Amino acid sequence: MGWQRNMFSKKYVVAVAMLTSAFAPSSNAENAVSPRIVGGQDATISEAPWQAAVTIRRSGGTAFCGGIVIGSRWVLTAAHCLDLADENDAYSLAPASEVSVYTGTAVIDGADFNNFRSGVSATFAHRDYNKDNFSNDIALLQLSSDINANASSISLATLADQSALDSNAGNNNQDLQLTGWGFTNVFGTQSTDILQKATLSAVSDSTCASQWAAETDLNLFAIAGYENNYLCAEQSSITACNGDSGGPLVWIDNGTSKLVGVVSFGVKTSSQNCPINRLPDVFTQVSNYSSWVSSCQVGSCNSFSPAILNSGGGGGGSFAWLSLLSLGFLTFRRRLS
């Protein structure tokens, strides 16, 4: 069942977007940053009706990521999910013709999966996205048709919401919900067709940065404005993994669900794709990007321009279209390659 749910890994940093290639993984997919959910439980779509699956046709296969419904025709995801370029090349934004979105289902396999599909009419990726440190790792998709009736949108957290969450960070509140279809073991070898959920707790900016400072591959202290760009979270025996990238981190605030983060990246070791109890997972802090999202929705935002494919759109351009009928090999926090 064949999407490849791994994203490209950058030095020992793993991006948590879900990347899956159908039947035959592309050569680039194996060195992609990868997000996933390890230690999660099965979830229904009613528990996360804003959850979306995003597929991106690439050279050699199809990449898979998570997404977040924020409007009847708008889905948020990670910028790294839409990058058609190799790891060391300049960012190349996937055009709308190469992207599909699936909403309203917790199961990404089966003969009826295509019934949940929406085409994409426009793609946007933050123009200041940095492939080296994953800052501004956020993108927006405009759909060509409404989301499935089973789906519903979630509100973006405000700066005041983020401040309230920050004030309680480090207290192990377990009030953050992570969902996705990424890999389900630390080695990135097991996956599930059923949406997974897990509960995390926020980690303070200073604690997260100091822990990551020990990792020479990505020192959050060295990134200007990291406190606004990133949100960190963790929980014992739980982590995001390959295939989870672009998915939602939701704050349950007195019974109200608010989108606080987009799955971005986590640590990777020489022996494990998604080690647990090592370092906090890192998410794009959405409260810092509400103005950017609003500007994109009116057609005027700071975005990369979509790539122009050699053979044009519609037929998949220069990319091989691989069958997506069976999507069972998806993985959490797996970055698309």
Please state whether beta strands 256-267 and 155-156 pair in parallel, antiparallel, or not at all (unpaired): parallel
Count of CA atoms in the C-beta half-sphere (13 A) of 94? 34
What pLDDT, on the 0 to 100 scale, is given for residue 270?
Answer: 59
For 311, which DSSP code?
A: T
Q: With respect to residue 1, please indicate whether it lies within any of the assigned structural domains.
A: no
Measure Cα distances from 126 to 141, 185, 271, 278, 331 in Å: 12, 31, 33, 29, 25
Instruction: Give the span between the Cα atoms of 285 and 169, in whole angstroms.
Output: 14
> How many angstroms separate the first and last alpha carbons of the chain?
18
Q: What CATH number does residue 164 fall under?
A: 2.40.10.10
What pLDDT, on the 0 to 100 scale, is given for residue 39?
Answer: 60
Q: Give yes or no for residue 307 having a pLDDT over 80.
A: yes
**Per-residue pLDDT band at 313 (split at 50, 70, 90):** very low
Write out the residue range of the structural domain in which residue 47 sits.
41-299
Q: With respect to residue 121, please indicate whether it lies within any of the assigned structural domains.
A: yes
Q: With respect to residue 334, please indicate whether it lies within any of the assigned structural domains.
A: no
Paired tokens of 51:
């959850």
Instruction: Give the span between the Cα atoms of 93 and 89, in whole angstroms.
Output: 12
Rank 92-101, 179-188, 236-245, 270-279 by mean pLDDT and report only the highest: 92-101
Q: Give yes or no for residue 266 having a pLDDT over 70.
A: yes
Q: Give yes or no for residue 321 having a pLDDT over 60.
A: no
Segment 194-218, tens digit of pLDDT: 899 999 999 999 999 998 888 777 7
Q: Which residues of 256-278 are buried (b: 16+ CB within 10 A; e: fewer)?
A: ebbbbbbbbbbbbeeebbbbbeb
Q: With respect to residue 108, please indicate whether it lies within any of the assigned structural domains.
A: yes
- CA nearest neighbour of 9 among 187, 206, 265, 319: 265
Q: With respect to residue 55, please indicate whether it lies within any of the assigned structural domains.
A: yes
What pLDDT, on the 0 to 100 scale, is given for residue 318?
Answer: 32
The total domain count for the chain is: 1
Q: With respect to residue 21, please indicate whether it lies within any of the assigned structural domains.
A: no
In sequence order, what E strands does 158-209 have?
176-180, 196-203
Q: What is the pTM of this model?
A: 0.82
Which region among 89-93, 107-111, 135-139 has the lowest average model confidence (pLDDT)?
107-111
Segment 116-172, tens digit of pLDDT: 999 999 999 999 999 988 999 999 999 999 999 999 999 999 999 999 999 989 887
Q: With contact defined as beta carbons under 8 Å apart, do 284 and 137 qualify?
A: yes
Q: With respect to residue 105, please indicate whether it lies within any of the assigned structural domains.
A: yes
Q: With respect to residue 31, please indicate whether it lies within any of the assigned structural domains.
A: no
Measure Cα distances from 92 to 6, 95, 305 in Å: 18, 9, 8
